[in-house]
Structure formats: C-alpha cells, structure tokens
Amino acid sequence: MLIAVMSDSHDHLGNLDAALKLALENRAAMIVHCGDFVAPFSLRALDEAGIPVHGVFGNNDGDQYLLTRLSMSELERVTLHGQVGTLEVQDCRLAFTHLPIVGQGLAATGDYDLVCFGHSHNHFAANTGRTLLLNPGEIMGKDESPGFCLYDTSSRKYRRIILA
C-alpha cells in the first residue's frame, strides 16, 4: 500500500490541492499528515481527496477543539490522533507526530517501521536501527520546494514528490 506522508500545509490550499492530486495519481491509499493544517478548510480539502486521512496536531493548529469537532461530525475520512498517532497497515507499524524530538524518541524505541514528523519544514530521512525516521518536508513552500513523500508499506521504501 502507498501512503502519502504530508506535513505543514499551513492553509496553502493551492499546494495542498496539487499534492492531493499527485497523491491520487500515484495511487496513494491513505494520507498521514504530520500537523500544522491550521484552519478547518484544510481538513475539508483533505477529506475531499476520498481516501482515509490520519493526522496529528502541530504547534500552529490553534483551535484543536474546532478541528476535532469538525473531523468527528462532518468529515467522513479524517481521523485526528492528538499529538501522536500510531497505525498498523499491512504489517507495517508506523507512528507520526509533529515535533522532531518526539519523532526521534518514537524511532529510538525500535517499535515502528516508519516514524514521520514535521515542524522543521525541511525534508529529512534517516534510519534509526530498522526504523525509517522521515520528515516529508512542507506542503506550504516557505523554506524549501513544496512536496511530500510516498511510502510503500511492502518495500519499506519512500520517494519524495516535489510539486511542480
């Protein structure tokens, strides 16, 4: 299964829409978002992609109550996990968070195949034991070219997609 790993969209709907289009064209079956959606309309855009979305809060997601209420009442495919999310998808154990230090701690446990984080707005990938620690970079496009990553749960490999 291909998972689109995204972070730090910061209400940039143009880039988010482009990323969602590319994720769907590449046949991603799920989206993991590592926080900083910012406003409810970003969650609506993610929901409209038509595939399951799992997200965590970032430091710029100010009204977490409103975002949670929206995801639980009006959105069909968005699940918010708080500060840390964990999933098992086709025997692939993954965790996701916003802050790098939390991601580093999760990766150090050795309990996960993939740990994703955001916050820095910079793409990063490194192995910690058998765990891939991955920052997909930013959707926003403030500090680097906007993009996201596709992670294959079968091969345990990822590739970065830059928005054109």
Structure tokens at 158: 């990822």
In sequence order, what DSSP letters do the residues of 28-48 get, joined into one string? --EEEE-S---SHHHHHHHHT
89-140 pLDDT, tens per residue? 999 999 999 999 999 999 999 999 999 999 999 999 999 999 999 999 999 9
Task: Tell me what pLDDT residue 164 has.
Answer: 75
Domain boundaries, the chain: 2-162
Return the structure tokens found at 116: 């994703």
Pairing of strands 78-80, 124-128: unpaired
- Tokens describing residue 133: 């620690």
Local confidence band at 151 (pLDDT 50, 70, 90 cut-offs): very high
Q: Has this prediction a pTM greater than 0.95?
A: yes
pLDDT value at position 20? 98
pLDDT, tens digit (0-9, with 9 covering 90-100), for 22-77: 999 999 999 999 999 999 999 999 999 999 999 999 999 989 999 999 999 999 99
| Residue 71 CB-density burial (10 A; 0-12 exposed, 13-18 middle, 19+ buried) | buried
**The CA-based dihedral angle spanning residues 37, 42, 43, 49, taken in that order and rounded to the nearest 10 degrees:** -120
Q: Which of 15-19, 62-66, 145-149 has the lowest mean pLDDT?
A: 62-66
Residue 17 one-letter amino acid: D
- Asked if residues 141 and 12 have their Cβ atoms less than 8 Å apart, the reply is yes
Could you confirm whether domain 2-162 is CATH 3.60.21.10? yes
122-125 contact pairs (CB < 8 A, 24+): 123/147, 123/149, 123/160, 125/158
Residue 73: predicted pLDDT: 96
Give CB contacts under 8 A, 24+ apart, made by 18-21. 18/146, 18/163, 18/164, 19/139, 19/146, 19/147, 19/148, 19/161, 19/163, 20/45, 20/46, 20/48, 20/49
